[in-house]
Amino acid sequence: MIKSMTGYGRGKYENDGRCYTVEMKSVNHKYSEISIKTPRNLSFLEDKIKKSVSSYISRGKIDIQVTFVNMNSKGTNINLNKELAKQYIVAIQELAEEADLSPNINIMDITKLPDVLTVQSDENEELLWNELKMALDEAIDNFMLMRKIEGRLIAEDLEKRINLILEKTEKISEYSTGLVEEYVVKLEGRIKELLKTDVVDETRLAQEVVIFSDKCSVQEELTRLKSHITQFFDTVKKDVPVGKNLDFLIQEMNRETNTIGSKANKLEITNLVIEIKTIIEDIREQIQNIE
């Protein structure tokens, strides 16, 4: 079944004081575009995250937000750069003397200066990835479920609209069947009226009928249109990305409908063509939501 390009998913995993949360959402896009935001200490995992998500998604603009809270001090080292701190103190004292101000140096203020106090983590990178992947997999599952649910609703809507087109196509076929016969009757009547005679040149009449039949016949267009409709129904049921295929089919259906409209010699057919084109435009907009 088709999938929507819009969706949202969230996953969470906690272990030994470490908490991972992954949120992902997507909107329509012609191609696949994945944007990832992670904490600095997990940035090295962005490529793996992208590869995991890419294996499920072929189209759409996906934004992924990763948060990580580590309440476990295991593997964490706090480093104090004493030499740098002393240089800061000396520089502050010299500035105070030159400006005739009291240094009033506070040790806590010194630790807040750049690169004086740093926190380093010696966490196992493989462990971090395995734990993060638990949250990521849950987010992807929820995300894909939402896309499938929306895709199913879109498919139901598309099938209803395509069935309407099929019904109107059948009506056009019925109307077009008697066009030549109607034309012959009208042409004979017109000739008799203009020439004031009941004698009609059958050969000339036959030539005109052949020319008219060739110009107004829409059977080939109707056959192709019905073929595209059948392909559309089959494509919607496939469990692979079909958005681009459906877009192509709807373009072909629109082209055949335009040709039928240009050949139409009956008001009822023209009205049906207008109705079909309106439905086709609605379908075209809906297809933009399909992966």
pLDDT value, residue 181: 57
Beta-bridge partners for 20:
13, 68
Under 8 Å between Cβ of 143 and 24: yes
pLDDT value, residue 145: 95
Instruction: Return all residues near 11 (Cβ < 8 A) that are at least 6 apart.
Output: 21, 22, 134, 135, 136, 137, 138, 139, 140, 141, 142
Q: Which one is the CATH code of 7-73+124-146: 3.30.160.270, 3.30.230.10, 3.40.190.150, 3.40.50.720?
A: 3.30.230.10
**Mean pLDDT, residues 41-66 taken together:** 93
pLDDT value, residue 79: 78
Helix/strand/coil for 32: strand
- In the numeric block, which tokens belong to residue 284? 């075209």
Q: C-alpha angle with apex 68: 66 to 72, nearest 5 degrees?
A: 165
pLDDT value, residue 207: 57
Question: Which strands form 18-27's sheet, in the order they lie side by side?
Answer: 7-15, 18-27, 60-70, 32-37
pLDDT value, residue 262: 82
Least confident of 4-18, 82-96, 109-123, 172-186: 172-186
pLDDT value, residue 203: 62
For the chain, the domains span: 7-73+124-146, 76-121, 152-287
**Mean pLDDT, residues 151-158 taken together:** 94
Q: Comparing 267 with 256, which gets the higher pLDDT?
A: 256
Tell me the pLDDT band of 219, cut-offs 50, 70 and 90: confident
Q: Say whether pLDDT at 188 is over 90.
A: no
Least confident of 78-82, 131-135, 256-260, 282-286: 78-82
State how far Cα 89 lies from the chain centre.
Answer: 58
Q: Say whether pLDDT at 34 is over 50.
A: yes
67's enclosing H/E stretch is strand 60-70
Question: pLDDT by residue (tens digit) across 173-186?
Answer: 888 775 555 554 45
Q: Using a pLDDT cut of 70, give the percent of the chain over it.
A: 82
Tell me the pLDDT band of 202, cut-offs 50, 70 and 90: low
**Mean pLDDT, residues 137-154 taken together:** 95
Q: Say whether pLDDT at 77 is over 90.
A: no
CA–CA separation, 71 and 281 (whole Å): 55
Tell me the pLDDT band of 168, cut-offs 50, 70 and 90: very high
pLDDT value, residue 245: 93
Question: pLDDT by residue (tens digit) across 220-246?
Answer: 888 999 999 999 999 998 888 899 999
Question: pLDDT by residue (tens digit) across 269-287?
Answer: 889 999 999 999 999 999 9
Q: Using a pLDDT cut of 90, give the percent of the chain over it.
A: 49
